[in-house]
Amino acid sequence: MAQMIAADRLKKIYVDAKRGDVVAVDAISFDCVEGEIFGILGPNGAGKTTALRMLATILAPTSGSALLNGYDIVREPEKVRGSIGYLSGETGLYARLTPREILRYFGLLNRYPKDTLEERIHNLVTLFDMHEFADVRCEKLSTGMRQKVSIARAVVHDPPILIFDEPTAGLDILVADALLTYIEECRGQGKCVVFSTHVMSEAERICDRIAVIHRGRILAVGSLDELRARTGQRFLEKIFLSLVRGGGEG
Amino acid sequence: MSIGDTFLVFRKEMTDLLRDRRSVLAMIVFPVLIHPILIFGSARLSSYGETRLKEETVTAVVEGGLPDLRERIVSAPGVRPLRARDPAEAVRSGRADIGVALPENLAISAGGEPEAVLFYDGSRGLSGEAMERVARILDEWKAEVREARLDSLGAAELKRVLPVEEKNVASEERMAGGKLGKLLPILLVFLLLNGASFAAVDLFAGERERKTIETLLTSLAPRSSIVAGKFLAVAVSAVIATLLFLSSSFLFTRIRWAGGEGLHDAWSVSPLSAAVVFVISLPLAFLLSAVLVLISSHARTYREAQTLLLPSLLLGVVPAAASVAPGVRLESIVAIVPIANVAVAVREALLGNYPILFLGLVVLSNSIGAYLVLRWARAFLSSERTVFGEARREPGVLPADRPRAREVTIFFAFEILVLYYLGSLVQSKDLLLGVILTLWGFLLLPTLVFARRYRLDIRRDFFLRLPSLRHLLAGILLAPASLLAANLLFHAQSRFLPVPEDLLEAFEKLMGSGEGGLVLMLFAVAVSPGICEEMLFRGLLLGQYRRVLSPTRAVLAGGLLFGLFHLSIYRFLPTALLGIIAGWLVLRTRSIVPAMFLHAVYNGIGVLAGGTGGALEGESLSTPWIAGAILLAAGALLLLREKEWGGGDG
C-alpha cells in the first residue's frame, strides 16, 4: 500500500509573551498509508491540533518536515492542499450562504472539474441526506446539519487524504456515530485518514493505528493490540494512562 | 496569484456581504439617503431655528437720556421693556436679553463724544438676536438724525454719495460648488470609510471569528488570491458607497432644481464635476480599503476590529477637513497627502476647476499608497499570527523589549498632547517663561518620571556619558551645516508649501522678542531645548527604538517623530532633519552630549540671526555662509572619523 503521509521530526515552537518559548509539538515522526485510519490520541493541549495544522499547511513547522501524497508541506504547500480535506470540530460555515453554495465555492477553489461539480454536489447531498436543507442559509441549520455540511465541504473535491481534528467535538451521539461511520467508509474507498481525538472509545472503534501524544511528544505508536502488548493493559484508557505516567507498568 | 481564484473569492464575498443587512445599510442605503436627509434636515432645522428666534419677544433694559430713542426701542414690536438699575448686570443674570446705556444728549463735551453701549450675552442666541434688533433701530435713528442735520444745513446733495451695488461674478455652478465643496468631501470620506469598514471587519476579523479561515487556507487557492479577492470586495463596497452617494447627490439636486422648490440651488452638482469627483475618489477608495483591511486583520474578534476601526474612521475624516480650510490649495504639497488631497481636489472640481496635472498627482499618490499598504497587508495576512489572531510570535523576535518601544511611543503621543494643550496655554501667558516651563516642566520632568517608572538606567539607556572633547567639538561644528541644510530644505519645500505670514510673524516674535534680554532668550530657546528635547528624543526614544530597530531605522524613526513633535507641517522636514543628524551623532559618539551641543548651537544661531528672521527666511544663504558651514562640517566629520575615540564613561 502506498505511503500517503510521512512526518519527519515535525517541531513547532511558539514564543509566548508571558511564558517565553513554548514547544507545542516536539519532533514527532509517524507515517500512514492509503486505506488506513491513523488516530492521534491525547489530552487537551497535547499538541494534536498544532500537529494537524502543520500537516494541513496552515502552520509552518519550526523544524522538520512531512510529505503528504509525495509533496513536501514546506516546499510545496499548494500541492499538499490539493491532496487533503481538512476538518476540525470548531470549523465554522458561512452563515449567509447555503450548503450548496458552500460546496460549490470550495469545489471550485479546490479545482474540482466544473462540468462534474454539480453531479458531485448532488451525490454528497444524497449521501449525507441534506436534500431538505441544501438550499437554506446555514445560519438557520442545527448543529447536526451543520456538521454534515462541514464534512461534505471537506471532501467535496474528493481528496486522497483526510485530516480530521476532533471532528466529533460538540456533537450528539447520533451525529457523531454517523460521522464515524462515514470515516470508516472512507477507509473502504482507500483514503488515508488522520483523526485526532481525546475520546478513547472513538479511537478504539475506528483507528487502525494510534499515536499517543502528550506534551508535544509521541509516547507510542501502534495498533491497539500492539499498544496492549506493550503496556499490558486491555483498555485504551489504561493504556493511555500507563504511557503518560511513564509507560513502565507492564 | 490566480485571477480565477481571486474572482471566485471576490464573488463569494460580495454575495455574502449583500446578504447582510448591516453591510447593505452601510454600502447602499446610507450613501443614497444621507445627502437628501442632511441637506433637507439641516436646511429646515436652521431656517426653523432662525424663524423661531425672529418671532421671540426680547426683554430690554434701557438706561439714560434721549427719550425719543428710548421710546423707539422699548415700543418696537417684539421688545418688552424691563426696569433695572444696571443694564449689564440684568443681561448677565439673564433677566434681560439686551441692555442699552444711552447718553444724556448728543452734545460733544470735553469728556469726549457721547456713545451708546449695548450689553448682550453672546452665548445666548436670543440675546444676539436682541442685539441685532436694537442695533438696527439705532442705525435707523442715526440715519434719520444725520439726514435731519443735513437738511437743516441745506446740503441735500450730501445725502447721496457713491451708491454701491454688489454684484456676484461667480456662476451658479461655482456658487453651488463653493458651498457644497466644503461639506461634500468630508461626507464622501466618511461614507467611503463607513462603506468599506463593515466589509473589512466582516471579511477578515469576521472570517476568523467564525472559524472559517482554516478551511479557506487549506483550499488550493493561493493566499495572495484569497487576500486579493477579499480586498477587492472591501474596495468595491467602498466604491459602491461612493458611486451611490455621488449619484444620489447629483440626482437629488437636479430633481429639486427641476421641481423648482428652490431651497437653494446651493447644493447642485454638475455631471462633469460628479464624474471627476468619482474618478479621483477611486484610488482613495482603494487606499482606505487597504488601510482598513490592515487594521481589521490585526483584530482577533469582530468586536475588537470594530473598536479599532472607529478611531480610524474619525481620524480619516480629519484630513478631509482640509476642504474647509480656506488657504489650502491643491497646487502644493497637499496634492500628495492622502485624503486631504482628494478633499481639496473634490472642492476644486465642484468649483469647476480641474488642474489636470495636480489631479493626476492626487490619483498617482493615492494609487502608490494603496499599493504599498496592500503589499504590507499581504505579507501580514499570510503570517500565522493573522490566521489565528493570537499573540504568538516565531522565536527569534525579542518579546521582552517590544512593549517598551511601544510604551515609549505612547508616551511620545502623550507628550504631544501636553505640548499642545498645556504648553500653548502657559506660552500664551508669557512666551519665554512659558517655553522654559514647557521644556523643563512638561517635557524633561515627565521623561524622567517615565524612565523611573520603567526602571531605565539614565546613564546607559539615555546615552548620558561624558563625551571626548573631540566629539563635543564635532557636535558644535556640525550646527551651522545642519542649520544650512535645514534652511535649504525649508526653501525647497516652500515652493510647494508656502509658509503663511502669521507663522513667520509668530516665529519672528519668538526669536526677536527682546524682552528678558538675550541671556534669558538663549536659555529658553537654545539651551533648554538642547537639554530637554534631546533627553526625550535622543535619550528615551532613540535609546528604546535602538533595542528593536536597526540603527538606521531607529535614527529615522526618532527624527521623524521629532519633526512631528513641532506640530507644524512647515517645520516638519527641517526639524526632522535636525533630529536625524542628532540621532546619528548620538549613535556615532555613544553619547548624547554632543547632540545636546549641536541642538543648542543650532537654535542659538537661530536666535542670534533671528531678529531679522534670517534663520527662517534664508537671508543667511550667502556664499561665505555656505562655504563656512561646509568647512566646519568637514572638520566635524574628520573629528568623528574614528569611532569611540577614548570617550570616558563618565
pLDDT digits (tens, 9 = 90+) for B29-68: 888 888 777 766 666 666 666 677 778 888 899 888 778 8
| B394 with A88: Cβ contact below 8 A | no
Q: Pairing state of beta strands B79-81 and B58-63?
A: parallel
Please name the residues between 95 and 124 in chain A that touch chain B, using a CB distance below 8 Å. 95-97, 101, 105-106, 108-111
Burial of B477 (0-12, 13-18, 19+ CB in 10 A): buried
CA distance A1 to chain B (A): 26
Q: Which residues of A touch B12 (CB under 8 A)?
A: 94, 97, 101, 105
Other Cβ atoms less than 10 A from the Cβ of B537: the count is: 28
A227 touching B (Cβ < 8 Å): no
- The DSSP output letter for B112 is B
| B399 with A91: Cβ contact below 8 A | no
Q: Residue B581 above 90 pLDDT?
A: yes
| A58 with B387: Cβ contact below 8 A | yes
| Residue B601, pLDDT score | 93
Q: Residue B157 above 70 pLDDT?
A: no
Give the three-state DSSP class for B109: strand
Q: Residue B219 above 80 pLDDT?
A: yes
- The DSSP output letter for B159 is S
Give the three-state DSSP class for A100: helix
- pLDDT, one tens digit per residue, over B350-359 is 877 888 888 8
| Residue B509, pLDDT score | 66
Q: Which residues of B touch A92 (CB under 8 A)?
A: 210-212
Q: Which residue has the higher pLDDT, B392 or B74?
A: B74
Q: Which residues of A touch B198 (CB under 8 A)?
A: none
Q: Which residue has the higher pLDDT, A141 or B152?
A: A141
ipTM field: 0.86
A19 touching B (Cβ < 8 Å): no
Cα separation, A43 vs B378, in Å, equals 35
Q: Are the C-beta atoms of residues B88 and B99 closer than 8 Å to each other? A: yes
| Residue A120, pLDDT score | 95
CA distance A121 to chain B (A): 17
CB pairs under 8 A between A and B: 90
Please report which confidence band the pLDDT of residue B650 belongs to, taking 50, 70 and 90 as the band edges.
Answer: very low
Residue to mutate among A11, A49, A58, A158, with most B CBs inside 10 A, is: A58
Per-residue buried b or exposed e for B246-277, using 16+ beta carbons within 10 Å of the residue's own CB: bbbbbebbeebeeeeeeeeeebbbbeebbebb
Q: Residue B611 above 80 pLDDT?
A: no
| B214 with A21: Cβ contact below 8 A | no
| Residue A132, pLDDT score | 94
Q: Are the C-beta atoms of residues B26 and B63 closer than 8 Å to each other? A: no
CA distance B365 to chain A (A): 35
- pLDDT, one tens digit per residue, over A115-135 is 999 999 999 999 888 999 999
| B397 with A15: Cβ contact below 8 A | yes
Nearest by CB to residue A92, choosing from B5, B8, B211, is B211
Q: Residue B113 above 90 pLDDT?
A: no
| B219 with A16: Cβ contact below 8 A | no
Residue to mutate among B18, B219, B394, with most A CBs inside 10 A, is: B219
Give the three-state DSSP class for B590: coil
CA distance A231 to chain B (A): 37
| B5 with A97: Cβ contact below 8 A | no
| Residue B109, pLDDT score | 67
Dihedral of CA atoms A181, A186, A188, A194 in degrees, nearest 10, equals -100
| B219 with A109: Cβ contact below 8 A | yes
Inter-axis angle of helices B30-55 and B172-200, nearest 10: 130
Please report which confidence band the pLDDT of residue B11 belongs to, taking 50, 70 and 90 as the band edges.
Answer: very high
Q: Taken in order B250, B255, B260, B263, is the CA torsion positive or negative?
A: negative
Please report which confidence band the pLDDT of residue B648 belongs to, taking 50, 70 and 90 as the band edges.
Answer: very low
Q: Residue A60 above 90 pLDDT?
A: no
| B220 with A59: Cβ contact below 8 A | no
Q: Are the C-beta atoms of residues A156 and A17 closer than 8 Å to each other? A: no
| Residue B606, pLDDT score | 79
Q: Residue B646 above 50 pLDDT?
A: no
Cα separation, A110 vs B217, in Å, equals 11
A82 touching B (Cβ < 8 Å): yes
Please report which confidence band the pLDDT of residue A8 belongs to, taking 50, 70 and 90 as the band edges.
Answer: very high
Q: Which residues of B touch A60 (CB under 8 A)?
A: 384
pTM score: 0.65
Highest-confidence range of B279-283, B302-306, B623-627, by mean pLDDT?
Answer: B279-283
Nearest by CB to residue B214, choosing from A16, A58, A111, is A58
| Residue B617, pLDDT score | 46
Q: Which residue has the higher pLDDT, A29 or B337?
A: A29
| Residue A133, pLDDT score | 94
Nearest-CA neighbor of A223 among A247, A241, A238, A239? Answer: A239
Q: Which DSSP string corresponds to B321-355? A: GGGT-TT--STTGGGGSTTHHHHHHHHHHHTT---
Q: Residue B640 above 80 pLDDT?
A: yes
| A17 with B16: Cβ contact below 8 A | no
| Residue A217, pLDDT score | 92
Nearest by CB to residue A110, choosing from B15, B219, B391, is B219
Q: Which residue has the higher pLDDT, B231 or B643?
A: B231
Strands lying side by side in the sheet with B98-101: B79-81, B58-63, B98-101, B117-120
CA distance B9 to chain A (A): 8
- pLDDT, one tens digit per residue, over B376-403 is 777 766 655 555 544 344 433 333 444 4
Instruction: Give the three cell numbers for residue B638.
Output: 574628520
- CB within 8 Å of A24: residues ≥ 6 apart: A12, A13, A14, A47, A50, A216
B24 touching A (Cβ < 8 Å): no
The arithmetic mean of pLDDT across residues B11-20, rounded, is: 92
Please report which confidence band the pLDDT of residue A249 belongs to, taking 50, 70 and 90 as the band edges.
Answer: very low
Per-residue buried b or exposed e for A89-102, using 16+ beta carbons within 10 Å of the residue's own CB: bebbbbbbbbbbbb
Q: Which residues of A touch B214 (CB under 8 A)?
A: 53, 56, 58, 86, 88, 91
Nearest-CA neighbor of B66 among B8, B141, B127, B4? Answer: B141
Please report which confidence band the pLDDT of residue B321 belongs to, taking 50, 70 and 90 as the band edges.
Answer: confident
Nearest by CB to residue B5, choosing from A53, A93, A109, is A109
Residue with cell 437554506: A136
Residue with cell 553619547: B591
Please report which confidence band the pLDDT of residue A155 belongs to, taking 50, 70 and 90 as the band edges.
Answer: very high
| B384 with A95: Cβ contact below 8 A | no
| Residue B158, pLDDT score | 66
Inter-axis angle of helices B172-200 and B3-18, nearest 10: 100
Least confident among A205-219, B87-101, B231-245, B635-649? B635-649
Cα separation, B230 vs B204, in Å, equals 8
- pLDDT, one tens digit per residue, over A66-84 is 999 999 999 988 889 989 9
Nearest-CA neighbor of A195 among A76, A231, A205? Answer: A205
The arithmetic mean of pLDDT across residues B590-601, rounded, is: 94
Cα separation, B633 vs B643, in Å, equals 17
| Residue B505, pLDDT score | 72
CA distance A11 to chain B (A): 12
CA distance B289 to chain A (A): 22
Q: Residue B173 above 70 pLDDT?
A: no
- The DSSP output letter for B58 is E
| Residue B222, pLDDT score | 82
Q: Which residues of A touch B222 (CB under 8 A)?
A: 78
Please report which confidence band the pLDDT of residue B255 belongs to, taking 50, 70 and 90 as the band edges.
Answer: low
Q: How many angstroms separate the Cα of B265 from the Cα of each of B262, B277, B350, B354?
A: 6, 19, 13, 22
Q: Residue B263 above 80 pLDDT?
A: no
Nearest CA in chain A to B226: A109
| B215 with A86: Cβ contact below 8 A | yes
Domains of chain B: 3-45+171-388 (no CATH), 56-156 (3.40.190.10), 413-640 (no CATH)
Please report which confidence band the pLDDT of residue B84 belongs to, taking 50, 70 and 90 as the band edges.
Answer: confident
Nearest-CA neighbor of B227 among B4, B393, B10, B372? Answer: B10
Compute the radius of gyration of chain B from its Cα atoms.
Answer: 32
Please name the residues between 352 and 411 in chain B that touch chain A, using a CB distance below 8 Å. 384, 387, 391-395, 397, 399
Q: Residue B527 above 90 pLDDT?
A: yes
Q: Residue B642 above 90 pLDDT?
A: no
Least confident among B39-48, B111-120, B282-291? B39-48
Cα separation, B333 vs B379, in Å, equals 30
| B217 with A58: Cβ contact below 8 A | yes
CA distance A90 to chain B (A): 7
Instruction: Give the three cell numbers for residue B629.
Output: 558651514
Give the three-state DSSP class for B358: helix
Give the three-state DSSP class for A50: helix
Q: Which residues of A touch B395 (CB under 8 A)?
A: 13-15, 21, 62
- End-to-end, the C-alpha distance of chain A in Å comes to 32
How many residues does this entry show for chain B?
Answer: 650
| B210 with A95: Cβ contact below 8 A | yes
Least confident among B90-94, B168-172, B383-387, B440-444? B383-387
Per-residue buried b or exposed e for B31-66, using 16+ beta carbons within 10 Å of the residue's own CB: bbebbbeebeeeeeeeeeeeeeeeeeebbbbbbbeb
| Residue B111, pLDDT score | 67
Please name the residues between 209 and 228 in chain B that touch chain A, using a CB distance below 8 Å. 210-212, 214-222
Instruction: Give the three cell numbers for residue B643.
Output: 569611532
